[in-house]
Structure formats: structure tokens, C-alpha cells
Amino acid sequence: MSVRVRFAPSPTGYLHIGSARTALFNYLFARNTGGKFLLRIEDTDLARSTDESTRSIIDGLAWLGFAPDEEIVFQSANADKHREAANRLLAEGKAYRDFTPKEAAGDGSVKEAIKQRAREQGADKNMRDNPYRELSVVESDTRAANGEPFAIRLKVPESGRTAFDDQVYGIQERDYADTEDLVLLRSDGHPLYNLAVVCDDIEMGITHVIRGQDHLTNTHKQILIYEALGVAPPTFAHLPLIMAPNKGKLSKRKHGEVVSMTTYRDAGFLAEAFRNFLALLGWSAGEEKEIYSMQELIEKFSLDGIHRSNAIFNFHPDDPRKWTDDKAIWMNAEYIRTMPLAQLLPHVRTELKANKLWREEYDEAGTSPYDGGVDAASADGVVLPREIGSYEWYLHTVDLIRQRFFTLNDFSSQGRAYFSEDFDFDPAAVAKNLTKFPELREWLPELADRFEAEFQAETRPVGSVPLGGSRSLAYTEENIETVVKAFTEEKGTKLGVIMNGARTLLTGTAVGPSMLSVFEVIGHDRAVMRLRSQVAWN
């Protein structure tokens, strides 16, 4: 029998990080086994489900790259079938009508109320004490016919136990005495979760149910329903939960944006990096490897590698640099700096376009006699003459600056100065590298003069035949180093002071690639202009 799994979120919010991982594991399992990955929106709770949420979940899934193999199933569309199943069980005597009036819906702290009630009932609670459980069929039918409202509850047998072999947690057993006569159909006629899930999983031909561990006890109830329906249950595999740093529940209310998938998309994460990170949260291939391509993940994934203990999603709300899990940030940076440049380019393009930093030239290969494409531009040690703003220059620049970036957004924020004259100065960088050394206010413009005196102007591309006399040096890293060092010695200061000051003036930041490369990539003319600029000082 070929594998069929489903990811079944309820559309009551955005795509949560835990749900995203559940989707990932289902997806990986399906691909690994050559099965189908399906999507079912569990919108049984009409009051809480929203279209907006459904859309956001589908968007999040699309971003992560998990396209369902069949059409999306909306659970609410199957309500009739669920009702039918409940009525059948009623007719067969496997369920009964409960005429107990519905309790007024609690507000807010339903969870607490339930806990409280359960505590009060203690261990003495008899799950079979519903007065309507043994009501005669005649009386039940009569009362129903008279229009008296009722819920339909499953008639759990007096004695026995449910059991299943969870693929992660092992054999799970539970005495019937610990399971209530669960409601199948509400008094308003709407089916409840456990019934709906079972019916839909049967109808969709689901072979493996892979979901959060919070459903472990639901599984016993669902097995009871499978048994009543006379259908063999699927295989179950429950996943450990992802918790907040205090081991508490990770929720939007308490933790905000960090738990939403769209946050990562918007923050400039690469889907492949985030997937990789998610895969390692609660699963391991049992080897000392961290970076996995999707293909490797698919090949190596197995239910055996899933953990039984909850994982903490570690983040520090107070530290802007660690607003989300360290490892996720590191992994994204790792992907950005090591993935093939050609794969990164489309993302950078999107980022630059969105920030009006894009030039058509960056798109066009083959416009320069020096054009060697992506490979040549990223080859070590090969210095190709390149014109500022050209395609080759662009490739080289992206390849250079990505080394210290963490997110795609960095290309337009920290990297803005490479693509535009209109960039901001990081106040911390200004304080640390400029105002701390007031002499620089004189020195840096002097350095600009020196550049002008020593180097060929931009219009004469690097590598062309030098002019005689002064202004003869090619604007290369090597020559820049010579000039800057000489200048430093004249001023009797440390190279770092000049370099850091120049970095801040040239790029607005305190960090980046080797400063010699920065000089070179920014280009002679812009470097001179920026070294003279006084705006950062004011």
C-alpha cells in the first residue's frame, strides 16, 4: 500500500513554527517513501476559522516549498459525511443521544476551567455515568422527535483498552475507564474534531498520521471511533513539541512574531536554510552533519530518527541580534555565504528590486568582453577588470559582501552603500570609528586627495595602460594597500584607525569584507567622494 500522509492545520492563525515542522516531516516522509503529501484544512470550528488564516498557511507552505500532491481538502465541506457517520453509529447502538443542556461557553481561560474541574473530580470520576447512556431507544427517539436538542456521544465500552504502536513513542495503552464518552456531534449538528479527523483520514486514504504529541491522547479516542466504524486505524507517529525558552508553550500571544513562518520569509531567510534548521529540531540522522540539502533530507529521513523529548526554540527577545534561534540565524548565514552564487542571485535580485536598488545591467550577462559569467566572477584570485555597476561588478560585489551577511535583507540594508549613494550611517559605527578619532575629519579627505593624485580615474578601467607620471597607479587592492599604508605612516597612526574610519564613511557600517576589497568594489571615484563627505560627521 502506498503511503499517504496529510498535514492538517486548523486555520485559526498564521503558520506556526511547530506546524511548519509537522508539515516538513510529513513532506519528507512522503517523499522518502514515494508516497503522497496531502493538505487538509481543519476548519470545523467555524467561529475561529478565517479565510485569511487559511491563505496565510497556504502562503507559508508555499514559501517552504511543500506543495500538496492532491487538491486541498476543506474539512467543513465534509460535514454531511461526518454527520452521517455519527448517525450510523447512533443507529447501530455504538453511540447515544445526550440531552444534557449545553454548558455556557466559558470565556478566555477555558483551559484553566477544564483543569480546575478535572482536579475537583479527582480520580473518582466515572466516565460512564452519563444518565442518557442507557436511555431506551424509544425514549431517545421520542425526545429527539419532540425537538429536544442533543449531542451524540460515542458509547465507549465498559471495559477494555485501546492500544497502538506509535512509531515514535512506542506502544501506547489506555484503559477505557480513562476515556470519556466523547461527543461526536454537537447539539447544533456540527461534527467535532475527533470524528471529523477520523472520517476524513479514512476518506483520504491516509496511511500514516504524523502530528504533534499533543494529540497522543486524542489518538485513543480516535481509535475508538475507528473501531466503532469498523475501519482499521492508520499508523501513528507523534512528534515532540517545540517549546519556548522557558519550556512553556510557544504562542503568538506570548511570543509574537518569532513563531510565525511569514516572519522568517520577511526577515530575509532562505526557505532552504529554514527547512534545514527545522529538520534538526526533533530529528537527527544520527550523524555529525548539520547542513542538508532537501534531497539529502528526503533520502535520510526516517521516523526512527525522531526524538521523544520536546525541543526548545531558543531566542532572546531583548537582544536584536538574537531575536530568533541562534542556530537558525547561523544556518541562514551559512547558506548565504556558501551556496552557489547562481542560486543566491535571484533572491538578491528580489531584495534589491524591492528596495529600488536594482539596475538592469545586473541582469544582463554577455554585455562585456570580460564577461565570464558567475563562475569566473567568483573564482578565487582572478581579477577581472570590471566597470562599476556592470554585470561582472555586480556578481563580484554580491559574492564579496555575502560573506558577512545573515539574511537576504542585509543586501539592501547593510549592503545598501554598494548599490546606492543614498545610504545611512550606523550611529554605533560612526561613534566607534569616526568621532572617537577627530583627526579623521581632516585625514580622510586628505586620503581622498591622495587617491586622486595617485590613482587613475574611474573612466580608465583597471588594467588598461597606465598614464605616465603621477596618477598612474592602477586602482587595485595591492596599490590601494601601498597608498593607504604610506598615508598611515605619515600620520603616525594605526592602519586600523584609517581603515575603520574609511569603512564607515564608505559603507555606513562597522563591519564588512576586507577593506581593500571594499575600496576596490566601491570604485575610485565613489571612494574619493565619500571620503570627502562630511555628512557622517554632522
Residues 342-401 that bind RNA (CB under 7 A): none
Secondary structure (3-state) at 7: strand
Under the criterion CB under 7 A, does residue 119 sit at the interface with RNA? yes
Among 500, 521, 522, 536, binds RNA (CB under 7 A): 500
Nearer to RNA, 40 or 362 (CB): 40
Among 307, 353, 356, 436, binds RNA (CB under 7 A): 307
Which residues between 37 and 66 bind RNA (CB under 7 A)? 42-45, 48
- Least separation in angstroms between residue 413's CB and RNA is 9
Nearer to RNA, 150 or 475 (CB): 150
- Least separation in angstroms between residue 125's CB and RNA is 6
Beta bridge partners, 162, equal 174
Question: Cα-flanking dihedrals φ and ψ of residue 193, to 5°?
Answer: -40, -60
Which residues between 439 and 458 bind RNA (CB under 7 A)? none
Nearer to RNA, 440 or 515 (CB): 515
Segment interacting with RNA, rule: CB under 7 A, options 82-90, 182-190, 436-444, 466-474 = 182-190
Nearer to RNA, 116 or 472 (CB): 116
- Least separation in angstroms between residue 360's CB and RNA is 30
Q: Which grid cell sits at 108?
A: 478566555
Which residues between 272 and 301 bind RNA (CB under 7 A)? 280-284, 286-288, 290
Which residues between 143 and 172 bind RNA (CB under 7 A)? 149-151, 169-170, 172
- Least separation in angstroms between residue 438's CB and RNA is 18
- Least separation in angstroms between residue 445's CB and RNA is 19
d(CA 3, CA 30): 7
Among 118, 137, 231, 383, binds RNA (CB under 7 A): 118
Count the Cβ atoms, other than its own, within 10 Å of residue 176. 17
Segment interacting with RNA, rule: CB under 7 A, options 28-36, 293-301, 382-390, 496-504 = 496-504
Q: In one letter, which amino acid is 227?
A: E
Among 4, 16, 36, 174, binds RNA (CB under 7 A): 174
d(CA 261, CA 427): 31
- Least separation in angstroms between residue 480's CB and RNA is 10
Count the Cβ atoms, other than its own, within 10 Å of residue 159. 9
Nearer to RNA, 36 or 238 (CB): 238
Which residues between 77 and 116 bind RNA (CB under 7 A)? 98, 100-103, 105, 110-111, 114-115
Inter-residue contact 94 to 59 (CB < 8 Å): no
Nearer to RNA, 92 or 165 (CB): 165
Nearer to RNA, 26 or 390 (CB): 26
d(CA 499, CA 444): 10
Among 467, 489, 490, 534, binds RNA (CB under 7 A): 489
Q: Which grid cell sits at 380?
A: 578565487
Under the criterion CB under 7 A, does residue 312 sit at the interface with RNA? yes
DSSP character string of 177-190: GGS---EEE-TTSP
Segment interacting with RNA, rule: CB under 7 A, options 60-68, 257-265, 306-314, 417-425 = 306-314
Count the Cβ atoms, other than its own, within 10 Å of residue 370. 16
Nearer to RNA, 8 or 390 (CB): 8
Under the criterion CB under 7 A, does residue 515 sit at the interface with RNA? yes
Q: Which grid cell sits at 498?
A: 584609517
Which residues between 414 and 433 bind RNA (CB under 7 A)? 414
Instruction: Lay out the site mask for RNA across 4-33 (x = CB under 7 A, - = otherwise).
Output: ------x-x---------------------
Among 488, 505, 520, 527, binds RNA (CB under 7 A): 488
Q: Which grid cell sits at 146?
A: 419532540
d(CA 430, CA 417): 15
Cell 467543513 found at: 76
DSSP character string of 351-414: HHHHTT---GGGG-TTSSTT--HHHHHHSTT------TTSHHHHHHHHHHHGGG-SSGGGGTTT
- Least separation in angstroms between residue 250's CB and RNA is 9
Nearer to RNA, 330 or 370 (CB): 330
Q: Which long-range contacts (CB under 8 A, 24 or more apart) does 376-384 make?
A: 377/341, 378/341, 383/462, 383/476
Nearer to RNA, 212 or 385 (CB): 212
Question: Which residues are CB-neighbours of 340 under 8 A, at least 6 positions away?
Answer: 374
d(CA 149, CA 100): 9
Which residues between 229 and 258 bind RNA (CB under 7 A)? 240-241, 243, 247-249
- Least separation in angstroms between residue 33's CB and RNA is 21
Phi-psi region of 366 (alpha: psi -120 to 50; beta: other; left: phi over 0): left
Query: 183-185 and 151-154: which strand pairing?
Result: antiparallel
How far are the Cα atoms of 387, 388, 408, 461 from residue 371, in angstroms, in the given order?
11, 14, 25, 15
